[in-house]
Amino acid sequence: MATEQEIKKMSSLHKEFQNLLEKDFKDRTLKENEIIKATVTEITKNFIVVDCKAKMEGMIPIEEFKNDDELAKLKVGSQIDVYLERIESFKGEIVISRDKARKMKAWKKMEKVFETQEEMTGYITGKIKGGFIANVEGLPCFMPSSQIDVRPLKKIDHLMNTPVKVIATRIDKNRGNVCVSRRAVIEKSKNAEIVEALKNIKEGDIVENAIVKATTDWGIFLDINGIDALLHVSDLSHGRVKKPADLVSIGQKIRVKITKIDEKTNRVSASVKALTEDPYESIEQKYKVGEFYKGTVTKIMDYGCFVKIEDGIEGLIHNSELDWTNRNINPGKVLSVSQKIKFKIVNIEKASKRISLSYKATLENPWEKIKNQIDKVNKIKIKNITDKAIFGELTDSKLSGMLHYKEISYQENIDDLKKFKKNDIIEVKIIEIKDEKIRFSKRALERDPLDWFKDNKKKVGSIITTRVHEVLKTGLKVSIDKDKKLIVTIKKSDLAKDSADARPEVFSQGNALDAKITELDLQNRRVKLSVKAAQIDEEKSLIAKFGEGATKSGATLKGIFEKAIGKKAKKEK
């Protein structure tokens, strides 16, 4: 048994150890949710045991050390950063995390390098929708598919789980998201090389051995001493180029002139045509408007044909300048590619490098031939019939014109259009040619019924005898001439002086009616007749002849008319 003296000694030593331990804990300033230093005390199969200067040692799952090469370098005594979540859990254990410490540290560093655009090392660990997951110094980041390389990659197996250089392109502090780009690092490196290479060239330099890298419909990509340059299709030649691939092949060396260097984008533009003089500079001395020249058809479009006049100079023959008879003719039906033709220069626009040509000017002009055909009989072939007109083509010149329904007959009846059909050949007269448009007339082949007034010397105020041709509800249609070609409508209000006698139904077809010409406009083909006006004139005439004596003897107007009519009847007998 321990003696009383030994018990007192042990108690004294226990108190001393307790005081030392409390003093040690008092010196330890641990705070939760912060990164602290820890010393590795043991490495087991599943855990890394560390001393955090807390009441007890902490244990970290070994998986948190397998994301990089840290586990291989780790040994007892190594100091590492850990994230202190809780000083004491409900089990009385300290809760720490190496993974969270790494992420917090990486996030703080990420915020700094985002501002400076400093390069960092990351590992592409997996693929997700729209891109990849990249572990950058312990922080999972998103790398869009477009940012993995400068050009699309079919396979990225060689980049998986291998160190790659990246740059942070976007940080969302609220969500804790980071986007990184490998492409930006590649472009940055490439741009540095380009900037250095650009120091050796300048605008205006002539490069003898520019290498063709690729061709497109709109230009050629060149390699000029390691620098990518663009040769646009418009800079290949002073003339028109169909496809750049027709002029060069991949790998071919060509001579070009540096025309532009963009210092902001480091883009270089080159030109072939800049090596030679622009042929349009002296075009006015070589070619004159209105003169005829020869050339070769190079291209046929829907709107016209391009013609090569000489190397670097082309002109356009518009559809309207291909044929005299059809302004919208299909160019392919007139000319063909490689055909050598004669043409006339219509216009030269030196500033815009446009030349307008005419092919039809070299052909016989049918419009000149028909100038003397006005008022002469011609035959036309009906090509189309519309609601109000017939369109036909002259059989001898193939020129087209219009025959309006009012020019079919002097009756101006729209139903006359029904008498004709497509491809009929009819005789007409050309009555007008204006702005390359022709007007035909069929009725002009006959004598104008209105000439009856000239032949019979009738004018406004003349009394003429007509025959009822047709009874209408609103009046009468009467024929003036014997052939019944001159038909005029008399309104109901002009049929008689007395309204009771002005009813159309009291008249019959064939009745004779004396009427007065109240309007006669031969130019506008307007004729107006009035039976009422003729009766009033006759009344005035009888009053003037018999009225004075009849008044003195007390005779009535009716008696005067009967007496006058009776005398007239006796004379006729």
Lowest mean pLDDT among 300-309, 330-339, 372-381: 372-381
The count of structural domains within the chain is: 6
Residue 503 has pLDDT above 50, yes or no: yes
pLDDT tens-digit readout, 104-119: 777 788 888 888 888 8
111 in any annotated domain: no
Please give the average per-residue pLDDT across 485-496, as a whole number: 87
Residue 169 to residue 147: CA distance in whole angstroms:
10
Do 108 and 64 touch, CB atoms closer than 8 A?
A: no
pLDDT tens-digit readout, 122-138: 889 899 898 999 988 77
Q: How many residues does the chain have?
A: 573
Residue 366 has pLDDT above 70, yes or no: yes
Binned at pLDDT 50, 70 and 90, residue 92 comes out as low
Q: Please tell me the predicted confidence (pLDDT) of residue 288.
A: 92
pLDDT tens-digit readout, 422-453: 999 999 999 988 888 899 999 888 888 888 88
Q: Domain of 145: which CATH number?
A: 2.40.50.140
473 in any annotated domain: yes
132 in any annotated domain: yes
Higher confidence at residue 31 or residue 544? 544
Residues in CB range of 546: below 8 A, 6 or more apart: 560, 563, 564
Domain boundary among 314, 333, 362: 362
Question: 461 and 526: one domain?
Answer: yes
Domain boundary among 303, 333, 362: 362
Q: Please tell me the predicted confidence (pLDDT) of residue 83.
A: 77
Q: Please tell me the predicted confidence (pLDDT) of residue 242.
A: 73
Residue 480 has pLDDT above 80, yes or no: yes
Q: Please tell me the predicted confidence (pLDDT) of residue 294.
A: 93
Q: Please tell me the predicted confidence (pLDDT) of residue 202.
A: 81
Q: Which DSSP state fits 308?
A: E
Please give the average per-residue pLDDT across 219-240, as a whole number: 82
pLDDT tens-digit readout, 150-201: 888 888 888 888 889 998 888 887 777 889 999 888 877 777 767 767 777 8
Q: Please tell me the predicted confidence (pLDDT) of residue 296.
A: 93
Please give the average per-residue pLDDT across 274-286, as a whole number: 83
Residue 88 has pLDDT above 70, yes or no: no
Q: Please name the amino acid found at residue 474.
A: T
The mean predicted confidence, pLDDT, of the chain is 82
Q: Please tell me the predicted confidence (pLDDT) of residue 555.
A: 46
Lowest mean pLDDT among 137-151, 188-202, 285-299, 395-409: 188-202
Question: 270 and 344: one domain?
Answer: no
Do 149 and 117 touch, CB atoms closer than 8 A?
A: no
Count other C-beta atoms under 10 Å from residue 422's C-beta: 12
Question: 93 and 28: one domain?
Answer: yes
Count other C-beta atoms under 10 Å from residue 136's C-beta: 21
Please give the average per-residue pLDDT across 314-325, as a whole number: 90
Lowest mean pLDDT among 132-146, 240-254, 303-317, 390-404: 240-254
Binned at pLDDT 50, 70 and 90, residue 482 comes out as confident
Share above pLDDT 90 across residues of the chain, in percent, rounded to a whole number = 17
Binned at pLDDT 50, 70 and 90, residue 4 comes out as low
Q: Please tell me the predicted confidence (pLDDT) of residue 560.
A: 52
Domain boundary among 410, 445, 480: 445
Residue 371 has pLDDT above 50, yes or no: yes
Q: Please tell me the predicted confidence (pLDDT) of residue 8.
A: 64
Question: 178 and 214: one domain?
Answer: no
Q: Which domain holds residue 152?
A: 117-189
Question: 466 and 532: one domain?
Answer: yes
Question: 295 and 355: one domain?
Answer: yes
Q: Please tell me the predicted confidence (pLDDT) of residue 572.
A: 47
490 in any annotated domain: yes
Please give the average per-residue pLDDT across 308-314, as a whole number: 87
Residue 217 to residue 424: CA distance in whole angstroms:
52
552 in any annotated domain: no
51 in any annotated domain: yes
Q: Please tell me the predicted confidence (pLDDT) of residue 151.
A: 80
Sheet strand arrangement including 47-51:
58-61, 47-51, 34-43, 79-86, 95-97
Residue 385 has pLDDT above 80, yes or no: yes
- For the record, the structure tokens of 242 come out as 């169909």
Nearest CA among 182, 127, 119, 176 for reference residue 151 = 182
Question: 354 and 301: one domain?
Answer: yes
Lowest mean pLDDT among 82-96, 152-166, 261-275, 531-545: 82-96
Binned at pLDDT 50, 70 and 90, residue 297 comes out as very high
Higher confidence at residue 398 or residue 557? 398
pLDDT tens-digit readout, 516-564: 999 988 888 888 999 888 888 888 888 777 764 444 444 444 555 555 5
Residue 250 has pLDDT above 70, yes or no: yes
553 in any annotated domain: no
Residue 206 has pLDDT above 90, yes or no: no
Q: Which residue has the tokens 């025309």?
A: 259
> Would the pTM count as exceeding 0.75?
no
Dmax over Cα atoms in the chain, in whole Å?
Answer: 193
Binned at pLDDT 50, 70 and 90, residue 573 comes out as very low
Higher confidence at residue 177 or residue 294? 294
Question: 178 and 235: one domain?
Answer: no
72 in any annotated domain: yes
Question: 353 and 317: one domain?
Answer: yes
Question: 133 and 175: one domain?
Answer: yes
Share above pLDDT 70 across residues of the chain, in percent, rounded to a whole number = 87
Nearest CA among 289, 409, 432 for reference residue 358 = 289
Please give the average per-residue pLDDT across 246-264, as a whole number: 83
